[in-house]
Amino acid sequence: MSQQESLQVLLVEDDPDVRLGCEQALQLEDIPVSSVDSAEKARRRLTRDFPGIVVSDIRLPGMDGMALLKELQAIDPELPVVLITGHGDVSLAVQAMKGGAHDFIEKPFSPDYLVEVVRRALDKRRLTLEVRQLRARLESRDTLEARLIGRSPAMVKVRQLVADLGNSAADILIFGETGTGKELAARCLHEAGPRRNGNFVAINCGGLPETLFESEIFGHEAGAYTGAAKKRIGKIEHASGGTLFLDEIESMPMAMQIKLLRVLQERSLERLGSNTPIPVDCRVIAATKADLKELSDQGRFRADLYYRLNVATLPLPPLRERREDIPLLFEHFLLQAAARHERPVPAADPARMGPLLAYDWPGNVRELRNVADRCVLGIEAGVAPFTAESPAQKRSLAETVDSFERALITEALERNQGSLARTAEDLRIAKTTLHDKIRKYGLANQPSG
């Protein structure tokens, strides 16, 4: 984290000799330390995001160390507090640890032991504050741009379509390869519309056994079949007032396609074992990685259902067709992974970006997220997908070179905060050449000089 070197120790000790000895021991190890002689003075200096730790004697005039610990736990339960106990105060030490103390030191103690305990506490505090910063950065970004990430023309168009279609009542068909974020796009459509307060119900049509499909989607009455001991509300009924998301719609059994079509046309259903129609009012978003028109022409998908679902289409581009978004996406996934695993963010490594930009990403954004996770966990060596041979390309050499060049320029502009001069110097090309290439590739947000 940026404030790593500014982390400090606040020492609370009323004995001037002990206080001086602790200060000197820490200063000799280049650990910043400030000290006070009472808990009351320490309390006035401490806030939730205090950039450091507290080392306090338990026995103090006025408020003692245990009372100070209790107050600090209320302000910030993650603030490491190390308590110093007198010789033989084992019961106090146990009580302190139960009260949330990070550690305790029993008098008399050596300077080396003090430094060891303090370093461990500082490492913990450094990680806590960094994770908080990461979460704040993730939460502060604009909702739609933070979720559908990318500055490429393709992703700008996707966000615009989501914004335009979100407020409509039209059923939508999302088309995209595996890992392009079809469910995420569906959730964004749901949250952008008037049904955002209703349920978002997702069904993976390829993940349900055909024998359970009808019961899961339409529900059943008690006694409808052997084992149906009580009434069950189906997924479609549960989505009423909200959004029904049908993922991998191409794998839905043909018999279920007929029943689904009827529900979409009549906006009502009958549970298994019942003849009573139940009105449903849900928006339907379907997703597929296959060409449904081609499947319908082959008789493998009902054409009438295809046309019923395909009121509006939202295509999601594969990652290889928007390589300029890879640096931004990778940074975002690193932040998420660091926050999730409570690990520090790996230092920026320009050498890593070249292979990431060159790789074809058959698993798309999902695969890139996995690489970021492995990078944060420190296990990327030898297993990262970009060490493997890229799959065969259908693009020409010129298209491949253009795509790679565009991605490199975009990443360099990001790294240099949009400065044309610094970017040109970084890429070792003339400013005029860089400007021509920016115009050629239609890069958004023209950089400054």
* Segment of 1-10, 87-96, 282-291, 420-429 carrying the highest mean pLDDT: 282-291
Residue 136 pLDDT > 80, yes or no? no
Q: What are the CA-CA distances from residue 397 to residues 387, 400, 401, 402, 403 (Å)? A: 21, 5, 6, 9, 10
pLDDT at 340: 87
pLDDT at 183: 95
Average pLDDT, integer, range 342-354: 77
Residue 93 pLDDT > 60, yes or no? yes
pLDDT at 29: 92
d(CA 312, CA 170): 7
pLDDT at 1: 41
Nearest one of 64, 26, 102, 401 to 409, comparing CA atoms: 401
Written as one letter, the residue type at 140 is: S
Written as one letter, the residue type at 147 is: R
Q: Which CATH architecture has domain 4-140?
A: 3-Layer(aba) Sandwich (3.40)
d(CA 297, CA 301): 8
d(CA 73, CA 75): 5
pLDDT at 436: 82
Confidence of residue 230 (pLDDT cuts 50, 70, 90): confident
Question: Which of these ranges, 8-12, 179-183, 359-363, has the smallest mean pLDDT?
Answer: 359-363
pLDDT at 397: 60
Q: Tens of pLDDT along 45-57?
A: 888 889 999 999 9
Q: Tens of pLDDT along 367-412?
A: 999 999 988 888 764 434 544 344 434 556 666 677 777 777 877 7
Residue 84 pLDDT > 50, yes or no? yes
Residue for token pair 């339960």:
77
pLDDT at 383: 39
Q: What are the CA-CA distances from residue 168 to residues 162, 184, 194 (Å)? A: 10, 18, 8
Residue 224 pLDDT > 50, yes or no? yes
In contact, 184 and 147? CB cutoff 8 Å: yes
Q: Tens of pLDDT along 26-37?
A: 999 999 999 999
Confidence of residue 107 (pLDDT cuts 50, 70, 90): confident
Q: Tens of pLDDT along 145-169?
A: 878 998 889 999 999 999 889 888 8
Question: Which of these ranges, 221-225, 292-296, 350-354, has the smallest mean pLDDT?
Answer: 350-354
Write out the DSSP string of 342-391.
T-PPPPP-HHHHHHHHHS--TTHHHHHHHHHHHHHHT--TTTSGGGSPPP
pLDDT at 47: 84
Residue 142 pLDDT > 60, yes or no? no
Domain 4-140 and domain 144-317, same fold? Reply is yes
pLDDT at 391: 42
Q: What percent of the chain is predicted at pLDDT more than 90?
A: 43
Mean pLDDT of the chain: 85
pLDDT at 88: 66
Q: Tens of pLDDT along 119-130?
A: 999 999 998 888
- Two tokens at 207? 């993940």
Spans of all domains in the chain:
4-140, 144-317, 320-441
In 141-243, alpha helices (H): 143-147, 153-166, 182-191, 210-218, 235-238
CATH superfamily of 144-317: P-loop containing nucleotide triphosphate hydrolases (3.40.50.300)
Query: How far from chain centre, in Å, is Cα 128?
Result: 17
Residue with the larger pLDDT of the pair 87 and 362: 362
